[in-house]
Amino acid sequence: MGRLSGRTAVITGAASGIGRAASILFAAEGASLIVADRAEAVAETAEEVVKAGGRAVAITGDAGEDGFVKSLVDRAIADSGRLDVFWANAGISGGFSPLHEQTADYWAEILRVNLIGPFLAVKYASKAMIPAGKGSIICTASVAGIRSGAGGPAYSASKAGVISLAQTACNELYGTGIRVNAIAPGLIETGMTKPIFDGARARGNEDKIGQLNPTTRYGVPEEIARAGLFLASDDASYVNGQTLAVDGGLSTSHPVVRRKR
């Protein structure tokens, strides 16, 4: 316990799922939090943290919007005088509509939230961290960004971009002491994946969810949160520009059932 004692962290996409689990864990490890989401339920995340004895402020807004991301960093500095961790976790899936039915606007919105959002986090968080000579920026990617078979085209492309962003950003920040890494979750039960789980349960085959990975099960948000805690803490002091797959082994092969056109 206490791996983030005295530190300040911003977590986006914190209203539910991975973001909420990370908020609760980071607070338990001593971090003061700014938790953000466009869903009003982010206030419930902050309330849960405070009830457990932690410190959290909830702010609603769009994590793909320049001014909002900057305001999160500004609030952390105003409240604590420092920013140690920024986890750019907010994202959208966009569904599974066929490629030939997708529009440029559809792609632009997914890229705006899933890729431009993390870019903005790196841009503003790193500027605040440079004077301290250290900091950890974490971006939520996906196994869908590693290879085909785990997501739709636009979503997968956006998450591949996040993986590249972690690599290029850490080199842009050469010598600053700031680390930029990504986490690539596999199939995790969250609000985003709720339709998949609801459908499987309705068909009575919940036991088959996650059967394609070597661990033969799906994951839960707390497992991703623990990976994020590692990257946020000094335990990962020599980990930079990497993408940590937390997927039960799915990304070793990405087996898929082919669909006929």
Is 155 among the residues known to form the active site?
yes
CA-to-CA distance for 46 and 35, rounded, in angstroms? Answer: 7
The gap between the terminal CA atoms of the chain, to the nearest Å, is 52
Task: Give the total residue count for the chain.
Answer: 261
Note the pLDDT of residue 253: 85
Per-chain mean pLDDT for the chain: 92
* Structure-block tokens of residue 74: 């500004």
Among the options 106, 124, 155, 174, which is catalytic?
A: 155
Q: Between 98 and 49, name the one with better pLDDT.
A: 49
What pLDDT shows up at residue 212?
Answer: 79
Q: How much is the average pLDDT of 218-242?
A: 97
Please tell me whether residue 181 adopts helix, strand or coil conformation: strand
pLDDT of 190 higher than 80: no
Q: Is the pLDDT of residue 261 over 60?
A: no
pTM: 0.93
- Provide Rg for the chain, Cα atoms: 18
Q: Residue 214 has which token pair? A: 């070597």
Three-state SS at 206: helix
For range 8-28, the mean pLDDT:
98
**Which domains are assigned to the chain?**
8-190+220-246 (3.40.50.720)
Give me the half-sphere count of Cα atoms (radius 13 Å) on the Cβ side of residue 78. 8
Predicted confidence at residue 259, as pLDDT, reads 59
Residue 16 has pLDDT above 80, yes or no: yes
**Would you state the pLDDT for residue 260?**
60
Mean pLDDT of 157-172: 98
Helices (H), 81-220: 104-111, 117-129, 153-172, 194-203
